[in-house]
Amino acid sequence: MAVKKDAFAPLFRITPAVANALMHIEAVKQAITTLPITPRVLANLRETARLFSTHYSTMIEGNRLTQKQVAQVIGEDQHFPGRERDQDEVKGYYAALDEVERLAKRQQPITENTIQKLHALVMAGGKLRTKPTPYRDGQNVIRDNRTRSIVYMPPEAKDVPKLMQQLVAWLNQPDDLPVPVKAGIAHYQFATIHPYYDGNGRTARLLTTLALHLGGYDLKGLYALEEYYARGLKDYYEALTIGPSHNYYEGRASSDITKWVAYFVEGMAAAFEKVRDQAQAEAGKGKSDQSKELRNLDARQRKVLALFQTSRDIRAKDIADLFGYKPRTATALCQRWVNDGFLIVADAAKKSRRYRLPAAYAKIIDRA
């Protein structure tokens, strides 16, 4: 059956393979929601998934850091001489994933500003204060790394704002498209518009993750679609390469993208299966499910919980040391967390201000 919802959404067909993958996603999703996962295991699995997402998404773009080195850059702020650009890419993607979690928690519609902010974080090397980046102001092309021949010529810069406006409007409009299909189309359309000179692939993958989380497919933050793409990079690029011409205006925008939709939903099913297997292994140990208590915490907050395992109160300096932040940045972050209800002020003195966990989160530490 061919499906085309409006002038913006490309044509695709719900083939038996697509339908089977969608049903499998729903079955696995339901199974996972009923499995018990303890707070500590959930935090570890989520952090592992985030590191996997960061490693594989940047690796797709040519990043040379290994999975272990990515973990060292994020968790220990290690420096690898000659790999400064790779380190910045990793920090940028990790920070953008953190922003995706915050946006999903707020359940606000996706806007152009949202996408521009995610791109800014991707390109800023992990710096927290970044201005949303405007779209490109000139033509760019995608070339084969080996032959340098043109693989794809995106739309002209003058058309990008209108196309991005249409993409965001389409993303937010209510329809009966399955969420995985809509997220997959959003990925394809963003890659097709290619609104930036650099960082389009990483931003497309972040936008996809955000769309899935907002649509109820967050799966407790335990999956990494990027691993599926990276482990079969040739298949990823082939699935995205659609149309009779490499030129946007000569077929790319109106092509049948069934091949890509099938690839995407099958990848989701595979990623969900991996999470189910991990969750079932943990469930077999007979531990109770306390995952809801951690679901509303972002990655940095979950990491900060470890500080409270050795001390009842902490200072902004402790957070600055943990993440390698400047004192002013750490202080501002603590104040934001106080406003959000994650921290409470234990000692209000300006120079020696200390913070404590509210009772609900303190119980997590007690059980751990």
Shared domain for 74 and 214, answered yes or no, is yes
Write out the two tokens for 291.
């995952």
Element at 24 (helix H, strand E): helix 16-33
- Give 53-121 as a DSSP string: HHHHHHHHTT----HHHHHHHHHH----TT-HHHHHHHHHHHHHHHHHHHHHHHTPPP-HHHHHHHHHH
Each residue of 265-279: pLDDT tens digit? Answer: 999 999 999 888 877
Shared domain for 225 and 323, answered yes or no, is no
- 61 domain residue, yes or no: yes
- 263 domain residue, yes or no: yes
Q: 214 forms bridges with which residues in the sheet?
A: none
Query: Which region among 59-63, 288-292, 303-307, 338-342 has the lowest average model confidence (pLDDT)?
Result: 288-292
Hey, CA dihedral for 79, 84, 90, 93, is it positive or negative? positive
- 209 domain residue, yes or no: yes
Shared domain for 270 and 312, answered yes or no, is no
Shared domain for 148 and 260, answered yes or no, is yes
Q: What domain range is 317 assigned to? A: 298-367
- 93 domain residue, yes or no: yes
- pTM for the model stands at 0.76
Shared domain for 209 and 165, answered yes or no, is yes
Shared domain for 54 and 132, answered yes or no, is yes
Q: Per the structure, how many domains does the chain have?
A: 2
CATH number, domain containing residue 311: 1.10.10.10
72 vs 138: CA distance, rounded Å: 37
Report whether pLDDT(93) > 80. yes
Report whether pLDDT(287) > 60. no
Q: What is the pLDDT of residue 2?
A: 46
> Phi/psi of residue 128, each to 5°?
-75, -40
Shared domain for 191 and 267, answered yes or no, is yes
- 79 domain residue, yes or no: yes
> Phi/psi of residue 346, each to 5°?
-95, -30
Residue matched to tokens 């000139």: 138
280 vs 288: CA distance, rounded Å: 12
- Determine the average pLDDT of the residues in 57-76: 90
Domain end among 283, 312, 333: 283
Q: 344 forms bridges with which residues in the sheet?
A: 356
Shared domain for 277 and 305, answered yes or no, is no
